[in-house]
């Protein structure tokens, strides 16, 4: 039996010697490479925290002493050490989640896949411990240097510093990267901590120098006093943390279990807030990841474990089309600039950055700042394109509303991974954007259905200079091109079936393909229909309302929240126009969805063409036998 197989709970680690721990660390890395290469998942971050996580669990008594991971994708090792060693269905329905999950284990505190929040969680837990008289319990937050670029982390540090009698240990996992290399002033600060001799060593050098020079006592004292003041900020930039009132320990080799244990034990014994600064290497122990400069191994699909190469090469995807088109736009318009929040390559801005390095701004994990900075750029005469994952726009919603829309700023938001993404679970499905953005006055939102419409709608979006525009598209490979058979005003007509059109089927974005299936299925049942893609779905186009008046029933299909989504917007617009055509809306239910594949979620929530056509046919039948069909919003099923 391997050492890893003997570990069923963290307490089992405390029986191992240092040589045995080294063997265990290698076994864990071998396990991660073998398992994640079969299923996909976050590989590089977890390979980098093996020894760090071992040390944390040897010093702290989880789950009594809470350990919060930020961001939670670095918690695979934690899962292995807390009894979850079946990774055969990692991030698949019924298998282990890609993030901490309370449903899986008492050792998990928060499903923390939106970065920079762990310190606030730890602050709250430590305050509760204090009020409940549990002063002996420490709280540990493991946060990467990338997550420390988020403003929320610094808001938390400001409050943590006040709790001098609260045992709260912050482990900074410093590998110089978030998804990509960490940027900004904090990155330079941590660089200095990595490369500069410690304050005490430099001060000792100063003392010896003064003694050898024969400097008189009073002069030497004054010189040392001045040296301390100067060195504190220049040579010992840990003063940034200690100036807040947070004890600093480090830098520590995060791949040395014994050194990490010593540092963590000292931090725990201190009894107040302490930062332990651990230097680690992302992808440690796996040659393809160690030699990679593009962070391809941050998150991987199914790969060959020996080489790290994909088993099945990725098809040309949505992100690649955006990457090409934004470069073409940038060549024609010097006022177009790009912003992102620590996701330069994943959102497709790397080619733009290569060609226009002075016109791209990676602000770190700080979506709120990105949005308001873009508003300032627009005010000063530029047209910013802010590229984010759809799920992360949630964090900048107030800024979209109050800084961009209120001031009619010409800012374009490009939302990647919109709709059902599935594998990463509840917090990563990009299902909130349309329902949220529908409430923003003046905002226009487009949802392309294929490559051609993505390119065209991006060009249309950046042409708007007096209001926010949004372009949203899903994760993954592009579908087949879906050309229009006609156009009514701004609305693309995708198909017409039957002599008398009874049903108007409205497909939003990639769901236009499903809408075409619905129209064909209705035609097979002798029900006439018109299938359309509004292209720009918010606000509801007046041409779409005109089409709706020509039909007995409107069916909308979207991969966003059905509550307050596009279907609701269509119904409200029809009601406001005095039109009583009933609307049946199909979309994602008002709930958090467990991790599963996109196809499984589509089937579970009855968003296949056949499911929607069946309900539409029933509604048409009801219309023939009743005066009215009551319009309702509901996720099919």
375 is in an annotated binding site: no
Topology of the domain covering 488-633: Rossmann fold (3.40.50)
CA distances from 539 to 437, 439, 441, 470, 482 (A): 10, 10, 9, 11, 23
Structure confidence at residue 93 (pLDDT): 85
595 is in an annotated binding site: no
Where does the pLDDT of residue 303 fall: very low under 50, low under 70, confident under 90, or very high at 90 and above?
Answer: low
Structure confidence at residue 140 (pLDDT): 96
Give 532-563 as a DSSP string: EE-SEEESPPHHHHHHHTTSSEEEEEEEEEST
Q: Are 395 and 114 in contact (CB under 8 A)?
A: yes
Q: What is the mean pLDDT of residues 331-348?
A: 94
Written as six digits, the tokens of 455 are 């390119």
- List, for residues 96-150, the tens digit of each pLDDT value: 888 888 888 999 898 877 788 889 989 999 999 998 999 889 999 999 877 888 8
367 is in an annotated binding site: yes
Structure confidence at residue 17 (pLDDT): 93
Residue 237 has pLDDT above 50, yes or no: no
Residue 231 has pLDDT above 70, yes or no: no
Which of 271-285, 294-308, 370-384 has the weakest average pLDDT?
Answer: 294-308
Cα 364 from Cα 543, distance rounded (Å): 41
136 is in an annotated binding site: no
Structure confidence at residue 476 (pLDDT): 84
How does the average pLDDT of the chain come out, rounded? 85
Among residues 367, 457, 517, 558, which one is catalytic? 367
State the sign of the Cα–Cα–Cα–Cα dihedral 494, 500, 503, 504: positive
Q: Exposure of 408 by Cβ count < 10 A (0-12 exposed, 13-18 middle, 19+ buried)?
A: middle
Where does the pLDDT of residue 629 fall: very low under 50, low under 70, confident under 90, or very high at 90 and above?
Answer: very low
* CATH 3.30.70.360 applies to domain 3-181+237-290: no
Structure confidence at residue 232 (pLDDT): 44
**282 catalytic, yes or no?**
yes
Among residues 58, 177, 395, 417, which one is catalytic? 395
298 is in an annotated binding site: no
Q: What is the mean pLDDT of residues 395-401?
A: 95
73 is in an annotated binding site: yes
Residue 538 has pLDDT above 90, yes or no: yes
145 is in an annotated binding site: yes
- List, for residues 499-532, the tens digit of each pLDDT value: 888 999 999 999 999 999 999 999 999 999 999 9
**281 catalytic, yes or no?**
no
Q: What is the mean pLDDT of residues 65-73?
A: 88
For the entire predicted model, the pTM comes to 0.80
Where does the pLDDT of residue 13 fall: very low under 50, low under 70, confident under 90, or very high at 90 and above?
Answer: very high
Residue 194 has pLDDT above 80, yes or no: no
114 is in an annotated binding site: yes
Task: Select the more confidently predicted residue: 226 or 133.
Answer: 133
Residue 427 has pLDDT above 50, yes or no: yes
Residue 633 has pLDDT above 50, yes or no: no
**395 catalytic, yes or no?**
yes
Q: Which value, to the nearest 10 degrees, does the dihedral of the CA atoms of residues 535, 541, 546, 549 take?
A: 90
Among residues 137, 166, 247, 282, which one is catalytic? 282
12 φ, ψ (degrees, to nearest 5): -65, -25
Give 235-300 as a DSSP string: T-TTHHHHTTT-EEEEEEETT-HHHHHHHHHHHHHH-SEEEEEEE--TTTT-HHHHT-SS-TTSSB
Q: What is the mean pLDDT of residues 252-269?
A: 93
115 is in an annotated binding site: yes
Cα 179 from Cα 490, distance rounded (Å): 39
286 is in an annotated binding site: yes
* CATH code for the part of the protein at 318-472: 3.40.50.970
Structure confidence at residue 203 (pLDDT): 47
Structure confidence at residue 207 (pLDDT): 54
Q: What is the mean pLDDT of residues 200-211?
A: 53
């Amino acid at each position: 039996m391997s050492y890893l197989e003997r570990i069923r709970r963290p307490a089992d680690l405390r029986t191992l010697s240092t040589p045995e721990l080294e063997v265990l660390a290698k076994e864990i890395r071998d396990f991660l490479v073998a398992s994640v290469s079969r299923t996909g998942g976050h590989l590089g971050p977890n390979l980098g925290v093996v020894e760090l996580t071992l040390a944390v669990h040897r010093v702290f008594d989880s789950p009594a002493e809470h350990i919060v991971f930020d961001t939670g994708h670095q918690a695979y090792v934690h899962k292995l050490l807390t009894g979850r060693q079946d990774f055969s269905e990692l991030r698949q329905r019924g298998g282990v989640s890609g993030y901490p999950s309370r449903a899986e284990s008492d050792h998990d505190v928060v499903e923390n896949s939106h970065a920079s929040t762990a310190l606030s969680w730890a602050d709250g837990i430590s305050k509760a411990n204090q009020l409940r008289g549990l002063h002996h319990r420490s709280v540990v937050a493991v946060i990467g240097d990338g997550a420390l670029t988020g403003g929320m982390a610094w808001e938390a540090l400001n409050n943590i510093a006040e709790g001098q009698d609260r045992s709260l240990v912050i482990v900074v996992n410093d590998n110089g990267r978030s998804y990509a290399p960490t940027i900004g002033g904090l990155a330079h600060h941590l660089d200095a901590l990595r490369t500069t001799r410690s304050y005490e060593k430099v001060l000792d050098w100063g003392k010896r120098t003064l003694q050898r020079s024969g400097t008189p006592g009073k002069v030497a004292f004054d010189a040392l006093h001045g040296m301390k003041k100067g060195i504190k900020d220049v040579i010992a930039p840990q003063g940034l943390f200690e100036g807040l009132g947070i004890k600093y320990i480090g830098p520590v080799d995060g791949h040395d279990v014994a050194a990490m244990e010593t540092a963590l034990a000292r931090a725990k014994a201190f009894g107040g807030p302490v930062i332990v600064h651990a230097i680690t290497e992302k992808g440690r122990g796996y040659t393809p990841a160690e030699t990679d400069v593009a962070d391809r191994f941050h998150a991987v699909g199914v790969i060959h474990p020996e080489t790290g190469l994909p088993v099945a090469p990725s098809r040309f995807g949505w992100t690649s089309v955006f990457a090409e088109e934004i470069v073409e736009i940038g060549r024609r318009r010097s006022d177009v600039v790009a912003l992102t929040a620590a996701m330069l390559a994943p959102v497709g801005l790397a080619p733009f950055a290569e060609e226009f390095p002075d016109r791209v701004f990676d602000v770190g994990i700080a979506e709120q700042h990105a949005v308001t900075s873009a508003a300032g750029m627009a005010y000063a005469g530029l047209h910013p394109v802010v590229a984010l994952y759809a799920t992360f726009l949630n964090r900048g919603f107030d800024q979209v509303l109050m800084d961009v829309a209120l001031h009619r700023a010409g800012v374009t938001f490009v939302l990647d991974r919109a709709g059902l993404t599935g594998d990463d679970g509840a917090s990563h499905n990009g299902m909130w954007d349309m329902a949220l953005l529908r409430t923003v006055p003046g905002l226009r939102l487009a949802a392309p259905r294929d490559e051609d419409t993505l390119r065209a709608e991006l060009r249309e979006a950046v042409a708007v200079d007096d209001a926010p525009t949004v372009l949203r598209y899903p994760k993954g490979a592009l579908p087949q091109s879906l050309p229009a058979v006609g156009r009514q005003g701004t609305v693309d007509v995708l198909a017409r079936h039957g002599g008398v059109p009874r049903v108007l089927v409205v497909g939003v974005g990639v769901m236009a393909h499903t809408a075409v299936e619905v129209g064909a299925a209705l035609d097979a049942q002798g029900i006439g229909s018109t299938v359309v893609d509004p292209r720009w779905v918010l606000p509801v186009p007046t041409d779409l309302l005109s089409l709706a008046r020509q039909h007995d029933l409107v069916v909308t299909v979207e991969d966003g929240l059905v509550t307050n989504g596009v279907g609701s917007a269509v119904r409200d617009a029809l009601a406001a126009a005095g039109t009583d055509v009933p609307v049946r809306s199909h979309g994602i239910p008002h709930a958090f969805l467990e991790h599963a594949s996109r196809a499984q979620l589509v089937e579970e929530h009855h968003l296949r063409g056949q499911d929607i056509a069946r309900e539409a046919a029933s509604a048409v039948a009801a219309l023939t036998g009743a005066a009215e069909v009551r319009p309702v919003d509901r996720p099919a099923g």
